Amino acid sequence: MRLNCTVIISVYNKIEYLRLLLAGFSVQSEMNFEIIIADDGSSASFTEQLEKELSDYPFQCSHIWQEDKTFRKNRILNKSILAAGSEYLLFVDGDCVPHPKFVEEHLSYARAGTILTGRRVNLSEKITSLLTPAKVREGCLQSEFYRLVADGLFGASYDVEKGIYIKSIYLRKKLNSKLRGLLGCNFSACKKDILVVNGFDERYEAPSVGEDTDIQFRFELAGKSIRSINNIAVQYHLYHKLQERPQRNIDLFEKVKKEKRSFTPYGIISKL
């Protein structure tokens, strides 16, 4: 059967977080997809635990690993794009649990030439610690949404309003009428549109800018449009300490903006 979608999950260690993600993907309303775990050098222990579990899920799941040489997320994402078995790709970070309608909603809005981007709720350390794969499969993040609201008001969760799943077509259009930036942990696109810009620029070897801001800029130079699906493709971000956002990424992006080239010479083509 032809796959409707390839979900690419970027990971680095934290098998307990990945288990929560895979639990979320195991109860999707749309199940005709494969998962590629894009692994930027996780430990042997992580790999061993993961390989034991891959057959336990109701979808095809493969693991692509590269040696740990600091942050090379864009490189492993490009490898995963080439390995994808479908023509539509959905990108997720290894610390973001999907809403049960997540894949279905991305696919329902999918169009050639359009890049879809959603948003995420940022869960506190307290809420994150309460989650288990069983609870995720049971839908606790939806059925007990009041806990997130309370923690947003009186605790440490934030952007809780982004976890409200909107069904009304009118409200969806109203809430997504303005342009929002692409979010690297929650976006999707046709593979052919990603190949037009040669994928991700592998010169970015630190978090931020490289996996979202840079590729959005180049998508738009290539004539692709960015469409927000906020409160439609809902996602829950598991707690972790913020990573450093180095100046070198910003400096590199300034150079990219001056060059105004949609096709990066530092992307997928080097893999062909």
The band of 115, judged by pLDDT with boundaries at 50, 70 and 90, is very high
pLDDT score of 120: 97
pLDDT score of 157: 97
For the chain, the average pLDDT equals 95
Q: Specify the pTM.
A: 0.96
Average pLDDT value for residue range 74-82: 98
Q: What is the CA radius of gyration of the chain?
A: 18
The answer for 216, left when phi > 0, alpha when psi is -120 to 50, beta otherwise, is: alpha
Tens of pLDDT, residues 130-166: 999 999 999 999 999 999 999 999 999 999 999 999 9
pLDDT score of 109: 98
Specify whether the CB–CB gap between 232 and 109 falls below 8 A.
yes
The band of 254, judged by pLDDT with boundaries at 50, 70 and 90, is very high
Which residues form the domain of 66? 5-271
Average pLDDT value for residue range 161-174: 97
Q: Tokens standing for 101?
A: 């309608």
Domain count, the chain: 1
pLDDT score of 271: 57
pLDDT score of 28: 98
Tens of pLDDT, residues 39-72: 999 999 999 999 888 888 888 999 999 999 989 9
| Domain at 50, CATH number | 3.90.550.10
Is residue 90 within a helix (H) or strand (E), and if so which, with residue range? strand 88-93
Average pLDDT value for residue range 9-32: 97
pLDDT score of 244: 74
pLDDT score of 212: 96
pLDDT score of 235: 98
- Predicted confidence (pLDDT) at residue 198 exceeds the cutoff of 90: yes
Pure H helices in 84-237: 102-108, 125-130, 133-138, 140-143, 145-154, 169-175, 191-196, 213-221
pLDDT score of 54: 83
Go through 66-77 and write b for each residue having 16 or more CB atoms within 10 A of its CB, e for each that does not: eeeeebbbbbbb
